[in-house]
């Protein structure tokens, strides 16, 4: 199965379920909690890795039952029993719930790419399962190239867009301003001078387009 349609999801306050509580499950739980999801973990016992997670989650101390995934937005099947994982996947597919099976890509409806973020910048790399190690290596290379200054730049651009919407009423002029920003070397300003200098320069450029 080829996963060729990349998407990003907003998981904040979404009900996500992880079935299983081993080392792999612990990583999945931590990632979901980092995304501010509301996480339920289904497992009779928790591994030390899961117990070490500081963020709160709901623990259902039981074996998997279909009723436990009712109303879930997303499910991760991460038990050490392939047959149970496949049953979870079948139940999710029947109920139109997104599911990732850690040991069976063909039963999954989505995969999680190797990714990193710099503020609002998110870069994900996938080899469609051919080599997760290569995906991680590419991610490391990209993370070195796209440093923290990109997060700063995007924050400045986000603020500039908001100011433009408030001060430039003419849509064509607003579009020209935003396009002009894309052609400015804000990264160089941030790197060689400061974020404050870049912000002041953007405000000066904005004044040229005021109505």
Distance CA 9, CA 15 (A): 13
Estimate the crossing angle of helix 171-183 against helix 148-167, to 10 degrees.
160
The whole domain housing 117 covers 113-146
Please report the pLDDT score of residue 14 as a whole number: 98
Per residue in 133-159, pLDDT (tens digit) is: 999 999 999 999 999 999 999 999 999
* Same domain? 180 vs 126: no
Report the b/e string of 173-200 with b at 16+ CB within 10 A.
ebeebbeebeeeebeebbeeeeeeebbe
pLDDT of residue 2 exceeding 80, the answer is no
Q: How many CA atoms lie within 13 Å of 141's alpha carbon, on the beta-carbon side?
A: 7
The two tokens of residue 44 are: 């009779």
Where residue 1 falls among pLDDT bands split at 50, 70, 90? low
Structure confidence at residue 53 as a pLDDT band (50, 70, 90): very high
pLDDT at 63 over 80: yes
Is 167 within the bounds of a domain?
yes
In this structure, the answer to whether residues 54 and 65 fall within a common structural domain is yes
Of the residues 102, 123, 146, the one at which a domain ends: 146
- Domain shared by 141 and 167, yes or no: no
Q: Based on the domain organization, do 94 and 178 belong to the same domain?
A: no
What is this structure's pTM? 0.86
pLDDT tens, residue by residue, 155-208: 999 999 999 999 999 999 999 999 999 888 999 999 999 999 999 999 999 999
Q: Do 55 and 106 fall within a single domain? A: yes
Q: Is the pLDDT of residue 211 over 70?
A: no
Closest CA to 58 of 10, 19, 89, 85: 19
Co-location of 44 and 80 in the same domain: yes
Give the residue with greater pLDDT, 130 vs 33: 33
Q: Residue 53 contacts by C-beta under 8 Å, 6 or more apart in sequence? A: 26, 29, 30, 33
Closest by Cα among 124, 121, 116, 115 to 156:
121
| Confidence tier at 129 by pLDDT (50, 70, 90) | confident
**Token duo for residue 18:** 């992880």
Q: Residue 11 — φ and ψ, nearest 5°?
A: -100, 0
Q: What is the pLDDT of residue 42?
A: 98
Cα 95 to Cα 121: distance, rounded to the nearest angstrom: 33
Which contacts qualify for 138-142: CB closer than 8 Å, 24 or more apart? Answer: 138/114, 139/114, 139/115, 142/116
Query: pLDDT band at 130, cuts 50/70/90?
Result: confident
> How many C-beta atoms lie closer than 10 Å to residue 40's C-beta?
19
pLDDT of 26 reads 98
**60: pLDDT confidence band, cut at 50, 70 and 90?**
very high
Residue ending a domain, choose from 90, 112, 134? 112
* pLDDT tens-digit map of 78-124: 999 999 999 999 999 999 999 999 999 999 999 999 999 999 999 99
**127 belongs to a structural domain:** yes
Residue at which a domain ends, from 94, 112, 130: 112
Number of domains composing the chain: 3
């Amino acid at each position: 199965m080829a996963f060729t349609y990349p998407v990003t999801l907003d998981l904040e306050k979404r009900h996500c379920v992880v079935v299983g509580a081993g080392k792999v499950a612990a990583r999945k739980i931590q990632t979901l909690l980092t995304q501010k999801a509301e996480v339920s973990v289904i497992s009779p016992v928790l591994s030390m890795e899961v117990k070490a997670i500081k963020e709160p989650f709901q623990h259902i101390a039981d074996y998997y039952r279909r009723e436990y995934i009712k109303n879930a937005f997303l499910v991760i099947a991460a038990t050490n029993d392939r047959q149970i994982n496949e049953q979870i996947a079948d139940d999710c597919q029947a109920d139109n719930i997104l599911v990732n099976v850690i040991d069976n890509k063909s039963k999954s409806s989505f995969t999680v790419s190797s990714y990193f973020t710099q503020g609002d910048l998110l870069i994900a790399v996938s080899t469609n399962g051919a080599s997760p190690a290569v995906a991680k290596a590419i991610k490391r290379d990209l993370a070195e190239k796209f440093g923290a200054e990109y997060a700063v730049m995007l924050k400045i651009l986000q603020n500039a867009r908001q100011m433009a919407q408030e001060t430039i009423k003419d849509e064509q002029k607003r579009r020209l301003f935003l396009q002009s920003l894309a052609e400015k070397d804000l990264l160089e300003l941030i790197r060689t001078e400061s974020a404050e200098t870049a912000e002041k320069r953007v405000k000066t450029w904005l004044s040229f387009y005021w109505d």
